[in-house]
């Protein structure tokens, strides 16, 4: 993940969801037009909100299986919670092997600012807020919420409603990135919580060995306001696995576990 934080972010305390943005989510859903990030990654398993011609999607995903490879394993409970084992993968990312702060899971996000194809709104027509809970306990603490789209530069996969699976464009520099978000309506990425431990001096302090729940929320706002027009949220539940079970259960798909959902923050 590469991004440069934009100077203007929306304070978490200003987040007041409108009735429309807080309406019912759809679960184990597909995002529009497809998963355009990466190669050969399945669509589906997303927790989605569609409001005001905007579509926002989030899901948890098994990033490292027993062979240290990604899988289209989501371990969804059908109600917005995605369950994975706590702890580290066999090796982790090639650019930071054996890092003690790498979890086995990632979270995927998708923004479509014109999913019906009638508004003509490009990605930069809205402000956004991504909130990542850093408290695995019963409480919810959002550390350094930020706008993932309106950045100086980011390595998102970007496209439109006609972009095929894995065919998103990735900007080479800040100039190209600004052009892409002004001309397209779809952006996606897959991120690890580990990425944020060192982001901008943040006190994120994520520990992949901690058991508990992490609330993740993505919201779109009318440009320059705190009027939320769409919002989605999920919970990642990190649970212990008995030592006798092999790492092939990293995704927990065979255990039938259902993670508990955190109460939505006020």
**Which two tokens mark 125?**
């027509």
Tell me which residue range forms the domain holding 137. 12-249
Low-confidence spans in the chain with pLDDT less than 50: 4-19, 201, 244-249, 253-266
**Cβ contacts of 126 within 8 Å, gap of 6 or more:** 54, 113, 149, 220, 221, 222, 223, 229
Residue 227 maps to a domain? yes
Res 242: pLDDT: 60
- For the stretch 198-221, pLDDT in tens is 655 455 789 999 999 999 999 999
Residue 263 maps to a domain? no
Residue 76 maps to a domain? yes
Tell me the DSSP string of 170-217. --SSHHHHHHHHHH-SEEEEEE-GGGGTTGGG------TT--EEEEEE
SS3 55: strand
SS3 of 74-108 = CCECCCCEEEEECCCCCCCCCCCCCCCCCCCEEEE
Q: What's the rounded Cα separation, in Å, for the pair 39 and 117? A: 25
Residue 7 maps to a domain? no
Distances (CA, A) of 5 to 126, 133, 164: 16, 18, 28
Residue 52 maps to a domain? yes
Residue 38 maps to a domain? yes
The sign of the dihedral angle between the CA atoms of 188, 240, 80, 222 is: negative
Residue 255 maps to a domain? no
Res 121: pLDDT: 98
Q: Give pTM, 2 decimals.
A: 0.87
Res 43: pLDDT: 98
Q: How many domains does the chain have?
A: 1
Res 201: pLDDT: 47
Residue 221 maps to a domain? yes
> Residue 238: is it exposed, middle or buried by C-beta count within 10 angstroms (0-12/13-18/19+)?
buried
């Amino acid at each position: 993940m590469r991004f440069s934080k934009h100077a203007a972010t929306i304070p978490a305390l200003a987040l007041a969801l409108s009735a429309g943005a807080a309406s019912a989510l759809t679960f184990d859903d597909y995002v529009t037009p497809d998963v355009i990030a990466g190669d050969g990654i399945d669509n589906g398993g997303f927790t989605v909100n569609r409001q005001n011609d905007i579509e926002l999607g989030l899901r948890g995903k098994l990033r490292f299986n027993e062979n240290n490879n990604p899988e289209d394993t989501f371990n969804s409970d059908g109600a917005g919670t995605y369950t994975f084992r706590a702890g580290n993968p066999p090796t982790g990312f090639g650019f930071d092997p054996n890092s003690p702060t790498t979890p086995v899971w990632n979270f995927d996000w998708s923004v479509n600012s014109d999913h019906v194809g009638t508004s003509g709104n490009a990605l930069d027509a809205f402000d956004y807020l991504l909130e990542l809970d850093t408290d695995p306990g019963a409480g919810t603490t959002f550390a350094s919420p930020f706008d993932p789209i309106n950045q100086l530069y980011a390595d998102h996969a970007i496209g439109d409603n006609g972009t095929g699976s894995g065919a998103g464009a990735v900007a080479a520099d800040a100039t190209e990135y600004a052009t892409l978000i002004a001309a397209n309506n779809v952006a996606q990425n897959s991120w690890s919580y580990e990425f944020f431990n060192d982001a901008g001096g943040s006190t994120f302090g994520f520990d992949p060995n901690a058991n508990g729940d992490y609330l993740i929320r993505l919201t779109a706002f009318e440009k320059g306001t705190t009027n939320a027009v769409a919002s989605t949220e999920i919970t990642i539940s990190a649970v212990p696995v008995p030592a006798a079970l092999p790492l092939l259960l990293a995704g927990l798909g065979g255990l039938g576990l259902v993670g508990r959902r955190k109460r939505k923050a006020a």
